[in-house]
Amino acid sequence: MDLATRYLGLPLSNPFVIASSGLTSSTEGIVRCAKAGAGAVILKSLFEEQVLSEADQLVASDGHFVHPEAADYLKRQGQEGAVEKALELIREAKAAVSIPVIASLHCTSAGAWLDFARRMEKAGADALELNVHVLTSDTRLTGEQMEKLHFDIATEVRRAVRIPVALKLGSQHSGLANLLSRLSRTGIQGMTLFNRSFSPDFDIEKLELTAGSRLSTAEEHGLTLRWISIASGLAGSDLAASTGVHDSKTAIKMLLAGATTVQLASALYLNGTGLLRVMLADLEAWMERHGFERLSDFRGKLRQAASSNPAAYERVQFLRLSEGTQPKSIG
Ligand SMILES: Cc1cc2nc3c(=O)[nH]c(=O)nc-3n(C[C@H](O)[C@H](O)[C@H](O)COP(=O)(O)O)c2cc1C
């Protein structure tokens, strides 16, 4: 079986990519992922806010520096801390593994991080994934402005670097199909669907805010599967499936939907990186059973555009599906 593929123009030995996370925040972690058989790694993001707030803390911690130029100098020092660490990780990872190393930037605005993108390219990153995070709770921002931010980021970074660029998006957008279709034509090479938002929770005894689970569950893959199926017919770029892929069956579904690569994070946190070997063996066995020799033999076979029943991919209401689903009686 030939599991090789190209993602963002880069040759990968297989379509399983380690998602940006703590799994890829150290050279040891990256080497572990490569040894386990990953096709590529996406490094832990350099957060725009992290960079800027470190700088702010430094300025705030030293009251002597009230002169704006001195504060400016300190801001640069703060940025250097976080950026230098991220650049060092890229250099070390490139020296330690032979699989593609994709750097990641968490962006909330256009412009501020362009310089970081250029420096990541110079440090040897094979590609960049931009995790675009827009606060939809900001009442000052209209949907149009939020979309524009994605276009600004995509076009500015394309101009700033020569390495391939992928945009990682959240799922909360109106007009998502239109957005994905237009974004994929800005010159970016890929889109990752979707980032998983942090969800808060409540402790109802302590009456406190708590953090929801950092890890996804297998049940969360449905939204990703639907949108990879829809987007693969309309996007002019590669698609990476992220969120809720916990086993080989779900990974195969994402490929059938048209994903170029499948990203994994939570499943590896829960089961260890050894799960990758199992998933690769399962994929090969499934391909053999179905007479597929390479990924292109079946990739996108079940995408919406190839379906005789495209409406089924978009049905969001339960309609007749609730028939036969009876509530359990209590007591
Ligand atoms: C501990 C942890 C740290 C993460 N850090 C990042 C990050 O720095 N940048 C990013 O784009 N995504 C980050 N993610 C999100 C993952 O890349 C991924 O999109 C998400 O977990 C959904 O995929 P999964 O269901 O395979 O976990 C993180 C996820 C986890 C669990």
Q: What is the DSSP string of 36-104?
A: HT-SEEEPPPEEHHHHHHHHHHHHHH-TT--SHHHHHHHHHHHHHHHHHHHHHHHHHHHHH-SS-EEEE
* pLDDT for position 73: 61
Tell me which DSSP letter residue 313 carries. Answer: G
Measured CA angle at 23 (ends 17, 29), to 5 deg: 100
* pLDDT for position 65: 43
Please name which of 5, 86, 8 lies closest in space to residue 38, comparing C-alpha atoms.
5
Coil, helix or strand for 200? Answer: strand
* pLDDT for position 62: 53
* pLDDT for position 88: 97
* Spatial contact of 43 and 102, defined as CB atoms under 8 Å apart: yes
| Mutation probe of ligand 1 site: the residue of 131, 193, 196 with most atoms within 8 A of C-beta | 196
* pLDDT for position 64: 46
Q: Return d(Cα 322, Cα 299) in angstroms, integer.
A: 32
pLDDT tens string 113-156: 788 999 999 999 999 999 998 777 788 888 898 899 899 999 99
Write down the domain spans for the chain: 5-322
Q: Where are the alpha helices (DSSP H) in the chain?
A: 27-36, 48-61, 68-96, 114-123, 143-160, 176-183, 221-231, 248-257, 266-271, 275-290
Q: How far is the CA of 77 from the centre of ligand 1 (A)?
A: 28
The two counts, helices (H) then strands (E), for the chain are 10, 13
Ligand 1 lined by 304 (C-beta under 6 Å): no
How far, in Å, are 26, 95, 252 from residue 22 at the CA level? 8, 19, 25
Ligand 1 lined by 264 (C-beta under 6 Å): yes
Burial class (CB in 10 A: 0-12, 13-18, 19+), 130: buried
What is the position in ligand 1's atom list of the atom closest to the CA of 266? 27
* pLDDT for position 219: 95
Compute how many other C-beta atoms are within 10 angstroms of the C-beta atom of residue 231: 26
**Does the domain made of 5-322 have the CATH classification 3.20.20.70?**
yes
* Spatial contact of 82 and 51, defined as CB atoms under 8 Å apart: yes
Ligand 1 lined by 272 (C-beta under 6 Å): no
Q: How far is the CA of 56 from the centre of ligand 1 (A)?
A: 26
Ligand 1 lined by 196 (C-beta under 6 Å): yes
* pLDDT for position 77: 63
pLDDT tens-place values along the chain, 331 residues long: 899 999 999 999 999 999 999 999 999 999 999 999 999 999 999 987 777 677 676 666 654 444 556 666 666 666 778 889 999 999 999 999 999 999 999 988 777 678 899 999 999 999 999 999 877 778 888 889 889 989 999 999 999 999 999 999 999 888 899 999 999 999 999 999 999 987 888 999 999 998 888 999 999 999 999 999 999 988 789 999 999 999 999 999 999 999 999 999 999 999 999 999 999 999 999 999 999 999 999 999 999 888 878 887 776 555 555 556 677 776 5
Considering only CA atoms, which residue is closest to atom 22 of ligand 1?
A: 243
pLDDT tens string 255-266: 999 999 999 999
* Spatial contact of 150 and 169, defined as CB atoms under 8 Å apart: yes
Q: How far is the CA of 291 from the centre of ligand 1 (A)?
A: 34
pLDDT tens string 72-107: 666 666 677 888 999 999 999 999 999 999 999 998
* pLDDT for position 235: 77
* Spatial contact of 274 and 36, defined as CB atoms under 8 Å apart: yes
For the chain, the residue count is 331
* pLDDT for position 66: 45
Considering only CA atoms, which residue is closest to atom 30 of ligand 1?
A: 21
